[in-house]
């Protein structure tokens, strides 16, 4: 297979190829908390990778940490002894831990790189909680999380949407700015890490291990390197995450059991198993999502009360190979074959059944690759479509659209992957037909470097794609403010990532009114 504005605060490519104050405040919460009596037995703090929470339900949430006093050790085990370690945890209604709701003890084992996933149940819906861990004579920082609203409750929500953070190409300043906005939930849509070797041409921001990762130890160390970043730690500590992987958590542009690199199928499946295991170890996900060898059940539904059903998809593991050798193609009949699949039969049927029974105000896909049309102008004046996206799986895309247009719906697709902001409408057929939904595409956190505001690059894309309303080649993230009446998405951008201290601004805002598929600019 061949691969080819509103200023919120100051803060002191090939497609594949503040909250320091908040952090200080969290440290202060932990330091003044009265509950756990800590006896330091010496040694390095094992909580170097911070804390996290995720996959919130109305009565439950996952709490995460990993013990790693020396997180970049070559064996991938973080400097921990080869034995089980007890980890105590507390969850409280207040940041001073004067009202502890639940507490317990978990076991951190070498088999899981001493990662801990605690699924805390018996919680109240729509509530904010605070949590922390203690092990080896040390206490972690305090994290903030929240549960989803009660089933059927029509409330409001603030979602953060992020993707594509490449360590060596920039500072994760955008994560810090999103943390300052205190979202209810962060959706990470993939490329949380990059498996690739460092390219000297792109090593413009900070030092990086230049080897491509293959083994379980490799993947564990790469995740640890990313998780040491203070801005990423701050975001994880301020809000729960819902995470899906894309390609770079395993291998560039992989499809099903087909790698990009020259590997046998068995070699790739062994690599995929290592990547899946390391991914689950480091993410605040439920036990049901834990991989079995080279297979993983990533796709799942998160209900945000009666406001939104979030369908977190896997567009890598079960797809057919990219048509016509991948890349951007002017003419590719293979992409139109009716039997081609992006989701695989089982996941597609799961999505169909969930869509059929949904009564939420908003039906939302949290997924990885571009969903709507994306014609790319070539140097010779012709237009080409990216085969790695849903444009290479046209019939599969139409089947998904049909699931959410069988009756009046409010259909929203959230996307990452392409390292640019986009806002567009979705259509059942030609773009001159009435829209049936909208797509909000988040740019990268750092991938692609600083980016630019070059109109000579942007204008041809908008002219070639009447379904698109906006694009921007800067780094940043999305914030979606959602009510029963409207879904409003703000396109945040930072002016640079190749050095620290960037501010953030709102480049554009778009709204979809409930019951009226389409986009209106509001800012």
The β-bridge partners of 104 are: 89
**Nearest in space to 494 (alpha carbons), one of 171, 198, 189:** 171
pLDDT in tens, 357-367: 999 999 999 99
Is residue 212 a contact partner of residue 197, using CB atoms and an 8 Å limit?
A: yes
Residues 151-166 have a mean pLDDT of 97
pLDDT in tens, 460-513: 999 999 999 999 999 999 999 999 999 999 999 999 999 999 999 999 999 999
**Nearest in space to 499 (alpha carbons), one of 212, 107, 186, 172:** 172
pLDDT at 28: 34
Is the pLDDT confidence value at 9 over 70? no
Is the pLDDT confidence value at 43 over 60? yes
Residues 366-370 have a mean pLDDT of 99
Query: Percent of the chain beyond pLDDT 90?
Result: 85
CA of 340: how far to CAs of 306, 393, 415, in Å?
33, 6, 21
Separation between Cα atoms, residue 80 and residue 112, nearest integer Å: 11
The β-bridge partners of 452 are: 473
Look at 23-37, 67-81, 441-455 and tell me which has the smallest mean pLDDT. 23-37
- Provide Rg for the chain, Cα atoms: 22
Query: Can you name the CATH fold of 158-521?
Result: Purple Acid Phosphatase; chain A, domain 2 (3.60.21)
Top pLDDT among 35 and 335 is at 335
Is residue 1 a contact partner of residue 260, using CB atoms and an 8 Å limit?
A: yes
Separation between Cα atoms, residue 48 and residue 113, nearest integer Å: 14
Q: Where are the domains of the chain?
A: 158-521
- Say how many residues make up the chain: 523
Is residue 37 a contact partner of residue 46, using CB atoms and an 8 Å limit?
A: no
pLDDT at 407: 83
Residues 63-80 have a mean pLDDT of 98
Is the pLDDT confidence value at 22 over 80? no
Separation between Cα atoms, residue 51 and residue 392, nearest integer Å: 38
- Positive or negative, the CA dihedral 196, 201, 202, 206 is positive
Reported pTM: 0.91
pLDDT at 203: 59
Is residue 510 a contact partner of residue 489, using CB atoms and an 8 Å limit?
A: yes
**Nearest in space to 185 (alpha carbons), one of 156, 225, 228:** 156
Top pLDDT among 336 and 209 is at 336
pLDDT at 176: 99
Separation between Cα atoms, residue 5 and residue 315, nearest integer Å: 33
Cα–Cα–Cα angle for 41, 44, 48, rounded to 5 degrees = 125
Using 50, 70 and 90 to split pLDDT, how confident is the model at 12? very low
The crossing angle, in degrees rounded to 10, of helices 173-180 and 19-32 is 60
Q: Which tokens hold the place of 40?
A: 């330091």
pLDDT at 11: 31
Is residue 337 a contact partner of residue 320, using CB atoms and an 8 Å limit?
A: no
Is the pLDDT confidence value at 7 over 60? no
């Amino acid at each position: 297979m061949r691969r080819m504005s509103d200023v919120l605060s100051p803060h002191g490519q090939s497609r594949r190829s503040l909250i320091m104050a908040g952090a200080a405040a969290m440290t202060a919460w932990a330091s003044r908390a009265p509950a756990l009596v800590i006896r330091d037995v010496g040694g390095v703090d094992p909580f170097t990778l911070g804390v996290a929470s995720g996959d919130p339900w109305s009565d439950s949430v996952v709490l995460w940490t990993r013990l790693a006093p020396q997180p970049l050790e070559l064996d991938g085990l973080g400097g921990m002894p080869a034995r089980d370690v007890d980890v105590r945890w507390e969850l409280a209604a207040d940041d001073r831990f004067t009202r502890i709701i639940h507490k317990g003890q978990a076991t951190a084992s070498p088999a899981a790189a001493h990662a801990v996933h605690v699924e805390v149940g018996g919680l109240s819906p729509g509530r904010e909680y605070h949590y922390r861990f203690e092990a080896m004579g040390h206490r972690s920082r305090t994290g903030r999380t929240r549960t989803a609203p009660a089933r059927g409750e029509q409330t409001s929500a603030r979602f953060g949407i992020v993707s594509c953070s490449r360590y060596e190409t920039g500072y994760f300043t955008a994560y810090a700015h999103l943390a300052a906005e205190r979202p209810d939930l962060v959706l990470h849509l993939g490329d949380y890490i990059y498996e690739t070797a460092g390219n000297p041409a792109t090593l413009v921001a900070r030092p990086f291990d230049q080897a491509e990762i293959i083994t379980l130890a490799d993947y564990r160390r790469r995740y640890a390197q990313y998780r040491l970043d203070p801005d990423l730690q701050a975001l994880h500590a301020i809000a729960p995450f819902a995470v899906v992987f894309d390609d770079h958590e395993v291998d560039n542009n992989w499809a099903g059991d087909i790698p990009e690199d020259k590997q046998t199928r068995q070699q790739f499946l062994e690599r995929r198993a290592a990547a899946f295991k390391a991914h689950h170890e480091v993410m605040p996900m439920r036990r049901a999502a834990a991989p079995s060898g080279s297979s993983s059940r990533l796709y799942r539904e998160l209900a945000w009360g009666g406001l939104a059903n979030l369908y977190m998809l896997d567009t890598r593991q079960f797809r057919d190979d990219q048509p016509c050798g991948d890349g951007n193609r002017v003419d590719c009949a293979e992409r139109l074959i009716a039997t081609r699949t992006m989701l695989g039969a089982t996941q597609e049927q799961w999505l169909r059944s969930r869509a059929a029974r949904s009564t939420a105000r908003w039906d939302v896909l949290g997924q990885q690759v571009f969903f709507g049309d994306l014609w790319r102008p070539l140097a010779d004046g012709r237009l080409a479509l990216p085969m790695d996206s849903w444009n290479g799986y046209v019939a599969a895309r139409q089947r998904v659209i049909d699931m959410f247009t069988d009756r009046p719906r409010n259909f929203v697709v959230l996307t990452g992957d392409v390292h640019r902001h986009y806002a567009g409408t979705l259509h059942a057929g030609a773009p001159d037909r009435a829209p049936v939904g909208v797509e909000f595409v988040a740019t990268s956190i750092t991938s692609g470097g600083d980016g630019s505001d070059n109109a000579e690059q942007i204008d041809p894309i908008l002219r070639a794609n009447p379904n698109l309303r906006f694009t921007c080649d800067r780094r940043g993230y999305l914030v979606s403010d959602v009510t029963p009446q409207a879904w409003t998405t703000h396109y945040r951008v930072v002016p640079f990532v190749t050095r620290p201290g960037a501010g953030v601004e709102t480049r554009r805002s778009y709204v979809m009114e409930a019951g009226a598929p389409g986009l209106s600019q509001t800012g």
